[in-house]
């Protein structure tokens, strides 16, 4: 087992791992990633003292090789293979060139702690208020991790760089959109992925959005374009605009975005885009709502996943058309009512129709018979209001008494002409036509009645007597219950019997 390494030894290792130009002792110092990257310069460095550190991949009694480096490092005879779990070595020596090419002659060699140990040691010494050392360690660690294809080490480097960005942000007094964009650009330059970069982009855009809200003339279009280009997912349609994550984002957009997954951030970016688009089209909507239909069609093209806003814009147009319905044509108002029915708002459809018809009715004083007829028909057919329809038709016929179309319509509705006045036919039929009919309806007996009319009033008589004379025939009907004796007379034995007198029956004994 490798012996425990003291802090002093580790600090020396840290110093050895930090690249620089020529040191005070004129020693070139490189990590293997740096050394390999400068391969074109090797032939110019022959004879110079060079310190190189990195992970070794092979070790023999007389030579070794570092990982990711094809150059052979030849060892002195008295150097033994290093023991321990670490595979990180530091060698000091010179480049030599002969007929076999370049090689490295090692003068001294020592084992260094492994990369993860060195990283954590150096990280513990970083200042909390200065981001630059964090950037330096992060870049070195990320470069080394990627060079060795060490995902864990690369991740540590990325996290250190991200911490540096947060330290730089925390030191800033005025964290405005421009500064946040600079941090996003720096994250890209440092080679960090979107998980680190996009929160700065998103926060910068949220700040720009807040500024646009208070501007006299917000530039919604430019902001929407920037959202589409800078936030992956802003142009991706959503299948739903509801859910806990979306509710959280509406309450705390920056915090919710920062802690979300990559996929969720795409959805939230689209929600942000729709927020801006919705405000843009609400801003375009005239106070009257008259342009709502046009805006709804435009909005449906750019935001087909936000159906509610398109419907809101259409609703504002509907309300405008309802409020200004007096100027609409008959076909326009019918279409308006159809739209309300389609939206499952039958009450609004009826309100629109009645409002329009009432205003049309108010203007009938200067209208012709056809207008009276059409208005009456609309009340009956559209509203099912026959009483109002009949009154309008009667008013029209009063002004135009000879109009056959109005007469025909009233006839279909059960009206008839009663000596120049149109009344319900049932009322005319029920009205008595003579005093005799009035008496029959009232149950009274008067002279001149026929037997059938008496029966209609009093029913069949209890007893009847018949007396014939030369010039007439007498018929007497007795009604003890009514205490009446009804006498009929038929002259010349022709014609009908008629009541000739009504007498009281004497009291029965």
**CATH label of the domain that carries residue 66:** 2.40.50.200
Between 84 and 109, the higher pLDDT residue = 109
Structure tokens given for 476? 């007497």
User: How far is 235 from 231, CA to CA, in rounded Å?
Assistant: 9
Element (H, E) at 91: strand 88-98
Backbone CA torsion sign across 13, 36, 126, 256: negative
Q: Is residue 509 part of a domain?
A: no
Do 415 and 460 lie in a common domain? no
Single residue among 158, 182, 206 that ends a domain in this structure: 158
Q: Is residue 447 part of a domain?
A: yes
Do 186 and 98 lie in a common domain? no
Number of domains in the chain: 4
Single residue among 261, 278, 296 that ends a domain in this structure: 261
Between 4 and 323, the higher pLDDT residue = 323
Q: What percent of the chain has pLDDT over 70?
A: 93
| pLDDT of res. 509 | 54
75 Cβ neighbours under 8 A, 6+ residues apart: 61, 62, 63, 64, 106, 109
Mean pLDDT of the region 204-227 = 95
DSSP labels, 474-505: EEEEEETTTTEEEEEEEETT-S--EEEEEEEP
Do 12 and 26 lie in a common domain? yes
Do 424 and 445 lie in a common domain? no
CATH number at residue 480: 3.30.1450
| pLDDT of res. 394 | 93
Between 109 and 13, the higher pLDDT residue = 109
Q: Is residue 98 part of a domain?
A: yes
Do 13 and 145 lie in a common domain? yes
Per-residue model confidence as pLDDT tens digits over 278-295? 999 999 999 999 999 999
The residue range of the domain holding 370 is: 363-429
Mean pLDDT of the region 433-456 = 82
**Band of residue 6 on the pLDDT scale cut at 50, 70, 90:** very low
DSSP tag of 383: S
Q: Is residue 21 part of a domain?
A: yes
Do 56 and 116 lie in a common domain? yes
Pairing of strands 63-66, 49-59: antiparallel
Per-residue model confidence as pLDDT tens digits over 234-277? 999 999 999 999 999 999 999 999 999 999 999 999 999 999 99
Mean pLDDT of the region 186-201 = 96
Do 149 and 55 lie in a common domain? yes
Q: Examine the pLDDT at 435 and tell me if it is beyond 80.
A: no
Do 113 and 239 lie in a common domain? no
Do 18 and 154 lie in a common domain? yes
* Cα angle 146-150-155, degrees, rounded to a multiple of 5: 75
Single residue among 399, 429, 459 that ends a domain in this structure: 429
Q: Examine the pLDDT at 217 and tell me if it is beyond 50.
A: yes
Greatest Cα-to-Cα distance within the chain, rounded to the nearest angstrom:
179
Q: Range with the lowest mean pLDDT among 116-120, 215-219, 425-429?
A: 425-429
Q: Is residue 288 part of a domain?
A: no
Mean pLDDT of the region 321-337 = 85
Q: What percent of the chain has pLDDT over 90?
A: 67
Which residue, 254, 255, 277, 251, is CA-closest to 205? 254
| pLDDT of res. 7 | 36
Q: Is residue 408 part of a domain?
A: yes
| pLDDT of res. 220 | 96
Do 380 and 244 lie in a common domain? no
Element (H, E) at 95: strand 88-98
Q: Average pLDDT of the chain? A: 89
Q: Examine the pLDDT at 24 and tell me if it is beyond 60.
A: no
Do 193 and 217 lie in a common domain? yes
| pLDDT of res. 471 | 81
How many other CB atoms are there within 10 angstroms of residue 201's CB atom? 23
Confirm if 75 and 110 have CB atoms less than 8 A apart. no
Q: Examine the pLDDT at 12 and tell me if it is beyond 70.
A: no
Q: Examine the pLDDT at 19 and tell me if it is beyond 60.
A: no
Do 134 and 14 lie in a common domain? yes
User: How far is 113 from 123, CA to CA, in rounded Å?
Assistant: 15
**Band of residue 20 on the pLDDT scale cut at 50, 70, 90:** very low
| pLDDT of res. 14 | 43
Exposed (0-12), middle (13-18) or buried (19+): which is 366, by Cβ within 10 Å? exposed
Per-residue model confidence as pLDDT tens digits over 386-404? 999 999 999 999 999 999 9
User: How far is 166 from 245, CA to CA, in rounded Å?
Assistant: 25
Per-residue model confidence as pLDDT tens digits over 52-71? 999 999 998 899 999 999 99
Q: Examine the pLDDT at 46 and tell me if it is beyond 90.
A: yes
Distance of CA 11 to the CA centre of its chain: 59
Q: Is residue 352 part of a domain?
A: no
Q: Is residue 1 part of a domain?
A: no
């Amino acid at each position: 087992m490798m012996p425990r390494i003291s802090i002093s030894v580790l600090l020396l290792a840290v110093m050895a791992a930090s690249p620089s130009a020529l040191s005070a002792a004129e020693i070139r110092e490189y990590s293997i990633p740096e050394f390999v990257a400068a391969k074109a310069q090797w032939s110019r460095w022959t004879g110079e003292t060079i310190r190189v550190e990195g992970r070794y991949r092979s070790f023999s009694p007389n030579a070794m090789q570092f990982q990711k480096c094809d150059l052979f490092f030849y060892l002195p005879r008295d150097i033994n293979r290093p023991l321990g779990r670490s595979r990180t070595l530091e060698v000091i020596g010179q480049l030599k060139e002969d007929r076999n090419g370049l090689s490295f002659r090692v003068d001294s060699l020592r084992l260094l702690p492994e990369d993860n140990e060195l990283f954590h040691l150096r990280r513990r010494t970083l200042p909390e208020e200065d981001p630059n050392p964090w950037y330096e360690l992060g870049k070195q660690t990320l470069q080394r991790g990627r060079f060795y294809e060490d995902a864990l080490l690369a991740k540590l480097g990325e996290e250190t760089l991200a911490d540096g960005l947060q330290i730089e942000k925390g030191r800033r007094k005025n964290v405005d959109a421009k500064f946040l964009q600079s941090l996003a650009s720096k994250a890209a330059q440092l080679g960090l992925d979107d998980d680190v970069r996009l929160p700065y982009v998103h926060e910068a855009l949220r700040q720009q959005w807040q500024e646009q809200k208070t501007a006299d003339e917000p530039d919604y279009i430019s902001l929407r374009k920037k959202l589409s280009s800078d936030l992956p997912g802003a142009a991706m349609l959503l299948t739903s605009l509801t859910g806990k994550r979306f509710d959280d984002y509406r309450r705390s957009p920056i915090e919710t975005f920062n802690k979300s997954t990559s996929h969720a951030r795409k959805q939230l970016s689209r929600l942000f885009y729709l927020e801006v688009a919705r405000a843009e089209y609400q801003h375009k909507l005239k106070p009257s709502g008259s342009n709502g239909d046009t805006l709804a069609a435009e909005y449906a093209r750019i935001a087909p996943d936000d159906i509610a806003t398109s419907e809101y814009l259409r609703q504002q147009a509907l309300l405008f058309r309802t409020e200004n319905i007096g100027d609409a044509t008959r076909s326009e108002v019918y279409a308006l009512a159809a739209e309300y029915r389609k939206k499952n708002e039958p009450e609004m459809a009826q309100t629109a129709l009645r409002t329009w018809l009432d205003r049309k009715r108010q203007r009938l004083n200067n209208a012709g018979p056809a207008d009276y007829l059409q208005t009456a028909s609309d009340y009956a057919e559209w509203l099912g209001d026959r009483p109002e329809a009949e009154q309008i038709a009667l008013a029209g016929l009063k002004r135009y008494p000879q109009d056959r179309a109005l007469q025909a319509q009233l006839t279909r509705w059960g009206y008839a002409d009663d000596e120049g006045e149109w009344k319900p036919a049932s009322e005319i039929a029920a009205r008595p036509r003579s005093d005799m009919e009035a008496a029959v309806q009232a149950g009274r007996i008067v002279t001149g009645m026929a037997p059938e009319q008496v029966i209609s009033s009093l029913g069949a008589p209890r007893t009847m007597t018949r007396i014939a004379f030369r010039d007439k025939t007498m018929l007497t009907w007795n009604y003890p219950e009514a205490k009446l004796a009804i006498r009929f007379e038929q002259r010349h034995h022709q014609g009908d019997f008629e009541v000739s007198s009504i007498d009281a029956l004497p009291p029965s004994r």
